[in-house]
Structure 1
Amino acid sequence: MNLPGLLRPRTPGSEILRTALRRNAGAMLRGTALMGLYQAGETAFPIALGLIVEHTLAERSPVSLAVALAALAAIITTVSLSWRFGMRILQRANTTEAHHWRVRVAACGLEPVARDTGLRSGEVLTIATEDADQTADIVEVVPVLISSLVAVAVTAVALGTASIGLGVLVVAGSAAILAVLGLLSGRIGRSTKEQQARVAQAGAKVADLINGLRPLHGFGGNHAAFLSYRRLSSRARDQAVTVARANGTYAGTALTLNAVLAVTVSLAAGWLALDGRIGIGELVMAVGLAQFVLEPLKLCADMPKYVMTARASAERMALVLSAPPVTGPGPDRAAPGPGEGLELDGLRYGSLRGLGLRLPAGEFTAVLAHRPQEAADLLAVLALHVPSDGYQGVVRLGGRPLAELSVASVRAELLVNPHDAEVFAGTLRSNIDPAGSGTRVAEAVRASMLTDVVALHSRGLDHEVHDRGSNLSGGQRQRLTLARALAADAGILVLHDPTTAVDAVTEQSIADRLVQLRRGRTTLVVTSSPALLDAADRVLVLADGAVTAEGTHRELLARDQDYARAVAR
């Protein structure tokens, strides 16, 4: 999913940052104005204090003192309110922008066709959370940086009115500090980018391990898996230490340089006061400003680090947002023709060698693949996991080649349900009917033999399902995903081994009910289940990448010994 008008294919991280800045220009302008007012008020405080000392010593008037104190109160009020409302505006814009990018990255990950990112799901998750937040920080960083520079400029001007030398000293010192820190920030940006990549890899490893936890327990691979994760996590930790050292060096250098500048300005002001070239009030102002300028200088010093971190995160987001989909939409947006089924003509992909088959509309067809890879390659093409230029031959849906149809129109007509379909945290109902608009939920529950699971719990279909269905058995999870596929009521439904985790009696009941529910609809089941094969109108045998035999289940049992051995249980 691209961002029309904002984000083009192959968009670098810098363009993502520019997009964020343009989108929040109004909020940033208001925030900058208020934060500038805050910094100006902070700067005005030592200036006003110096003037109070100067005039109080000269006039010794209680009225003048009262007016001065009132002026200080007004300055303090201005500082408090401008900071409060300025940061409210900026943080709201920051949070909204982070939400925007999280949704965009998540939308890319949830598209019907996967993107060619080269990243695992755990890495995409890190990008959709941490990197999105750090990228959005640019909305807050820039106004704070500008307001801090304004404070430094006001300080330089104020000191320049007392002594041009003091003003020049602040300007030159600030420029030198920012130049030194700018060099250090580049190293931080490179180290942070590497750290984010390693943390994302470790997160992806954890997600993979949790997903395969039961198989790991089954063959005793727990310890090896733990060591594998530990190596990745250790590399992420080492890189985090490197980043921490760079940040520590940066912070220490910034603090030292700022302190040196403040001390230099204070000493220079004291020397000028002793020499009689500035008054006591100007000395108080100079010392106060020298102490005050530490804060805006620190903010200025920190900003390059935040900018580099935001840039590194934006570059990682660009990996997802600008990655092309594995299968793009065809030039023709028309829907496939009604009532013409599915046809494969001379399909060559992976282990498939000129596969040809036709599924007439309304027929229940089963495919027995002697090799699992042949089944996997067939389903990959039908599920649009392979671009149209990635295979030879033609796949027609409703009489039209897939290459001429949009992904949306194919998805509306053809549903491929894998044998390892995911179960999500939520309820039984939300897993069966995620959109909440299905009209065949009850029939799908009966056909998938999920009724016993529903009846087992007091809340029925509203029974809570844990992450990845961890509170369900393997057979219950499989029947749940089958119910979801049936509830979608697709014109053409492709199922892959939908009953491998259920017992023979339940399998027979599912086969019978599946035929009833899908009557008049085109259905293809890739399976070795005798019950499903026997229920099919026609069985195709797939061997050596092509259809080698076809007929009913019982006909094939009688004449094909290889088929009989493959389905024997």
Structure 2
Amino acid sequence: MNPRDATQPRTGSAILRIALRRNAGAMTWGAVLMGMYQAGETAFPIALGLIVEHAMRNRSLGALGLSIAVLAVIITTVSFSWRFGMRILQKANTTEAHRWRVEVASRGLQPVARDVDLRSGEVLTIATEDADQTADIIEVAPLLLSSLVAVLVTAVALGLASVRLGLLVIVGTIAILTILSVLSRRIGSGTREQQARVARAGAKVADLISGLRPLRGFGGNHAAFASYRTVSTQAKHQAFVVARANGVYAGAALALNALLAAAVTLMAGRLAFQGQISIGQLVMAVGLAQFIIEPLKLFAQMPTYVMVARASAERMALVLAAPPVTIPGSGRPTPGGGDLEVDGVRYGSLNELRFTVSPGEFVAIAAYQPRSAADLASVLAAGVPPDDYQGTMRVGGADAADLSIEALREHLLVNPYDGEIFAGTLRTNIDPAGTGRLVAEAVAASMLTDVVDLHRDGLDHPVRDRGANLSGGQRQRLSLARALAADADVLVLHDPTTAVDAVTEQLIARNVAGLRRGRTTIVITTSPPLLDAADRVLVLDGGAITAEDSHRNLLSTDDTYRLTVAR
């Protein structure tokens, strides 16, 4: 097994543990500084009470100056500890979110088993919102500890003035947290459901955008929009449910905190009236009663953040734990091996499919049924797990089932008929890594030169998302140029010229054959120019190879072939 997959987190709890473990240093320093901040905040009313007590006994200017200096030190400590503590925690949070975004995006770009019920729109939500919310755990834990420090310091300070005041704070805090923990369980389950529904709505939007043109073509856009409205409405209703639960939770937290503060204030006033505590201690108690509301409020908010982080981590685990479509192995294709063998493959409409392509050969496969062409392209592109089809596919003499995705794609590239176009430029679409040696040759072979020459920026001409500013033929030629520029040992093209005119198609066929001379090339097509340019043609009918010859010989000897491919 690939070590990378073996160490991949399988559960949300594992993801949270990883995040906490690799940010332990930042969280420790953050907890120390935020603890100093809370201690300083707590020390302020304590110092104020002591100053009042001291001033009533000793009314000297020196004592007043010393008191002001002490308050200045406390304020400075509070300011700098907050500033640097939050800087450390937010940097760690942002860095951790970036790590998970990259991890989820990397995993999402790899084919995974088809039983994983996640669409591209959901993966996008997981790689953005869920990654950010999972990383929030980095801030939650230190802030929770710092709030605990504030409560303990308050309880000790009040306990020194009066044991009853200290016990009131401790017992009240425990009661508040117990009540809120019960309320937070409902928020957790509701939040998980809300995140799932929002992600489904995002996936529906992505599907609508990608299929808007064909939907409009046959008048299905209104039905599609109605479907999205249903999903979005469900997400909205669930958001209302969570909002109501959060509102009840926040209101209860605020009321309980205020109740505790009022109880401390009233008890302190009564004790002062009875002469059991001094005026300075009363000032301290009233100040601490007001201050303790903030750390208790933070305490109350923490379970919500934890629930959201856990729910987001569980959703990320769905992507990270998704099994790859190939069995990760250590096998590698023979260096320079450009042969491809399909032996007895049964999948979908394919029925005991067998054929071999020798290194450097240009072979066309004329599929009479579009379903067979699509199934064959899926198998060759490793879009189907080896366990899901019978038979064997070998690349460079190595069984594809024993290869990792990375090893397989080093030697075999399948360019789909609907290749995606990305926002950027013509150049970045053709050569995303910026390392291609055949960009100019690929542009010329795919007849994309006219698009490049049409714009002053040439290859740096901007391309909108999904190639919205390009025609269908231009997008197809751009996708073909990208496949040719990759210069793979084995290149499979699936219907690369369906959106171009006959003259351009003729030129592309000749150019592709010339550029790929000496490199193994397979074209799944019924295009006469491409079939004619191939060294030989394999006829795929009924899921199996039924004939094999040159294009011209098949035209003269096979009536079905002639009727299928002749235009």
TM category, shorter:
over 0.9
Cα separation, 1, equivalents of 2:290 and 2:403: 68
Task: Name the SS of the counterpart of 1:458 in structure 2.
Answer: coil
Instruction: State the TM-score, normalized to the length of structure 1.
Output: 0.97
Is the Cα–Cα contact under 8 Å of residues 428 and 480 in structure 1 kept in the other structure? yes
Structure 1 pair 97/2, CA: closer, same or farther in 2 (3 Å)?
Answer: farther
Q: What is aligned with 1:168? A: 167
Cα separation, 2, equivalents of 1:187 and 1:530: 64
Q: What is aligned with 1:439? A: 437
1:489 Cα offset (Å): 0.9
Is the Cα–Cα contact under 8 Å of residues 337 and 397 in structure 2 kept in the other structure? no
Cα separation, 1, equivalents of 2:3 and 2:212: 37
Q: Which piece of structure 1 moves more, 91-100 or 397-406?
A: 397-406
Q: What is aligned with 2:304? A: 305
Cα separation, 2, equivalents of 1:475 and 1:564: 26
Q: Which amino acid aligns with 2:566?
A: A
Q: What is aligned with 2:185? A: 186
Q: What is aligned with 1:320? A: 319
| TM-superposition CA deviations, 1:222-281 (whole Å, max 9, x none) | 211111111111011111111110110010000000000000011111111111111111
Is the Cα–Cα contact under 8 Å of residues 116 and 326 in structure 1 kept in the other structure? no
1:329 Cα offset (Å): 2.0
Q: Which piece of structure 1 moves more, 543-552 or 148-157?
A: 543-552
Cα separation, 2, equivalents of 1:219 and 1:273: 82
Mapping for residues 69-148 of structure 1, pairs under 5 Å: 69-111=68-110, 117-148=116-147
Q: What is aligned with 1:344? A: 342
Q: Which piece of structure 1 moves more, 11-20 or 339-348?
A: 339-348
Structure 1 pair 430/472, CA: closer, same or farther in 2 (3 Å)?
Answer: same
Mapping for residues 34-45 of structure 1, pairs under 5 Å: 34-45=33-44
Q: What is aligned with 1:397? A: 395
1:379 Cα offset (Å): 1.2
| TM-superposition CA deviations, 1:65-105 (whole Å, max 9, x none) | 22111111111111111111111111111111111111110
1:109 Cα offset (Å): 1.1
Task: Name the SS of the counterpart of 2:419 in structure 1.
Answer: coil
Is the Cα–Cα contact under 8 Å of residues 536 and 548 in structure 2 kept in the other structure? yes
Cα separation, 1, equivalents of 2:14 and 2:519: 48
Question: Does the alignment pair 1:459 with 2:457?
Answer: yes
Q: What is aligned with 1:239? A: 238
Q: What is aligned with 1:49? A: 48
1:491 Cα offset (Å): 1.1
Q: What is aligned with 1:420? A: 418
Cα separation, 2, equivalents of 1:53 and 1:175: 31
Q: Which piece of structure 1 moves more, 422-431 or 386-395?
A: 386-395
Q: What is aligned with 2:288? A: 289
1:10 Cα offset (Å): 6.0
Q: What is aligned with 1:567? A: 565
1:2 Cα offset (Å): 8.8
1:337 Cα offset (Å): 5.5
Task: Name the SS of the counterpart of 2:447 in structure 1.
Answer: coil
1:428 Cα offset (Å): 0.5
Is the Cα–Cα contact under 8 Å of residues 338 and 360 in structure 2 kept in the other structure? no
Q: Which piece of structure 1 moves more, 249-258 or 376-385?
A: 376-385
Q: What is the aligned-residue identity percentage? A: 69
1:113 Cα offset (Å): 5.9
Match of 1:507 among 502, 505, 508: 505
Mind listing any 5+ residue stretches in structure 1 that lack a counterpart? none
Q: Which piece of structure 1 moves more, 343-352 or 161-170?
A: 343-352
1:186 Cα offset (Å): 1.2
Q: CA RMSD in A?
A: 1.6
Is the Cα–Cα contact under 8 Å of residues 49 and 280 in structure 2 kept in the other structure? yes
Question: Does the alignment pair 1:219 with 2:218?
Answer: yes
Structure 1 pair 430/340, CA: closer, same or farther in 2 (3 Å)?
Answer: closer
1:11 Cα offset (Å): 1.7
Cα separation, 2, equivalents of 1:159 and 1:165: 8
Q: What is aligned with 1:530? A: 528
1:334 Cα offset (Å): 2.9
Task: Name the SS of the counterpart of 1:205 in structure 2.
Answer: helix
1:550 Cα offset (Å): 1.3
Task: Name the SS of the counterpart of 1:396 in structure 2.
Answer: strand
Mind listing any 5+ residue stretches in structure 2 that lack a counterpart? none
Is the Cα–Cα contact under 8 Å of residues 347 and 392 in structure 1 kept in the other structure? yes
Cα separation, 2, equivalents of 1:293 and 1:33: 19
Q: Which piece of structure 1 moves more, 495-504 or 404-413?
A: 404-413
1:339 Cα offset (Å): 4.3
Is the Cα–Cα contact under 8 Å of residues 8 and 322 in structure 1 kept in the other structure? no
Mapping for residues 262-273 of structure 1, pairs under 5 Å: 262-273=261-272
Q: Which amino acid aligns with 2:23?
A: N
Task: Name the SS of the counterpart of 1:202 in structure 2.
Answer: helix
1:198 Cα offset (Å): 0.6
Cα separation, 1, equivalents of 2:514 and 2:494: 19
| TM-superposition CA deviations, 1:161-182 (whole Å, max 9, x none) | 0100000000000000011111
1:111 Cα offset (Å): 2.7
Structure 1 pair 337/391, CA: closer, same or farther in 2 (3 Å)?
Answer: farther
Q: Which amino acid aligns with 2:394?
A: R
Cα separation, 1, equivalents of 2:398 and 2:81: 63
1:60 Cα offset (Å): 2.1
Task: Name the SS of the counterpart of 1:345 in structure 2.
Answer: strand
1:9 Cα offset (Å): 4.8
Q: What is aligned with 2:356? A: 358
Task: Name the SS of the counterpart of 1:437 in structure 2.
Answer: coil
Match of 2:365 among 345, 367, 386: 367
Instruction: State the TM-score, normalized to the length of structure 2.
Output: 0.98
Is the Cα–Cα contact under 8 Å of residues 336 and 410 in structure 1 kept in the other structure? no
Q: What is aligned with 2:248? A: 249
Is the Cα–Cα contact under 8 Å of residues 539 and 550 in structure 1 kept in the other structure? yes
Q: Which amino acid aligns with 1:136?
A: A
